[in-house]
Amino acid sequence: MFNKISEAIHLFRTHFKLIASLVLTVWLPANLLIEYYDDNFLYQENIFKIMGAAMWIEALLGPIYIGAIIFLLSEAKQGQNVKYKEAIVEGLRNWGALFKARFFAGLLIVLGLIALIIPGIYLALRFSLIEYVVVLEGADTRDSRERSTELTEGIRWELLGAALISNIGVLILSFVGGFIIGLLQVSFPALDTFYISAIVDSATNVLFSIITIIFFLYYWEVTTNEPREATPVNS
């Protein structure tokens, strides 16, 4: 697990400019809109409405940059260089398939969480490799769930541990950024932190892409080590 996290950080650093560009294509304008909405319509911080807006943006537009990052990582693993245009085109091409696969998997996960919470977590782990299966194998909505279930067999606890560690790390950094913004607001009341807040939130979104990289590495390892069907020899 820690080897995967270490390798993910290395890949993140190596391809930082391109990964950041892909994430910010969606999240920088989105965070500016969220901050504008917060300042002009909520009049006071409402964390639940802000979280709701972020969830909708991630659901609708997240597949674009996630598909692009998965394509980038796959090509990088094969020694290929990828430019921004190639990656974003691939993300747009896979948007519909990714959106549908994520939507129906998410619906099942929510139902599982409503039921007893544990089933929801279990389903989230089973379906955690759906995005990679859709982008790299061209699986449809139903097949992607079945394929992800197959690929995650035996590694779900490790996936959970990696997700918890990486999420906690990113959330700590996000908290530090929020704390700095709070200090600026207290120390300099006249300072407009609109753009600073949007930039910090966007930086957090970029950092969260490390989780996408970690799960990609699990997908890559499992599929690379899969037994290949023997080619029949003609007698």
Average pLDDT over residues 11-24: 95
**pLDDT of res. 235:** 38
Q: What letter represents residue 147's amino acid?
A: R
pLDDT digits (tens, 9 = 90+) for 65-77: 999 999 999 999 9
* Residue ranges in the chain assigned as alpha helix (H): 2-14, 16-37, 47-77, 84-93, 95-116, 118-126, 130-137, 141-151, 156-187, 194-224
pLDDT digits (tens, 9 = 90+) for 145-164: 999 999 999 999 999 999 89
Please check the confidence at residue 231 and state whether its pLDDT lies above 50. Answer: no
**pLDDT of res. 39:** 65
Cα dist from 158 to 2, 65, 128, 208, whole Å: 10, 25, 12, 18
pLDDT digits (tens, 9 = 90+) for 170-194: 888 878 877 777 777 677 766 667 7
**pLDDT of res. 192:** 65
Q: What letter represents residue 11's amino acid?
A: L
Band (pLDDT 50/70/90 cuts) for residue 2 is: confident
Comparison of pLDDT for 39 and 42, the residue scoring more? 39
Domain boundaries, the chain: 2-93+157-221
DSSP 71-126: HHHHHHHTT----HHHHHHHHHHTHHHHHHHHHHHHHHHHHHHHHHSHHHHHHHHH
Comparison of pLDDT for 43 and 163, the residue scoring more? 163
Q: How many CA atoms lie within 13 A of 229 on its CB side?
A: 2
Provide Rg for the chain, Cα atoms: 19
Quote the longest CA-to-CA distance of the chain.
84
Residues near 220 by Cβ (< 8 Å), separated by ≥ 6?
A: 73, 74, 77
Average pLDDT over residues 198-212: 90
Q: What letter represents residue 27's amino acid?
A: W
Please check the confidence at residue 42 and state whether its pLDDT lies above 60. Answer: no
**Can you tell me the distance from the alpha carbon of 224 to that of 101, in angstroms, rounded to the nearest whole number?**
23
Query: Is-contact 101 134, C-beta < 8 A?
Result: yes
Q: Quick one: which of 187, 191, 84, 102 has its CA closest to 148?
A: 102
**pLDDT of res. 47:** 63
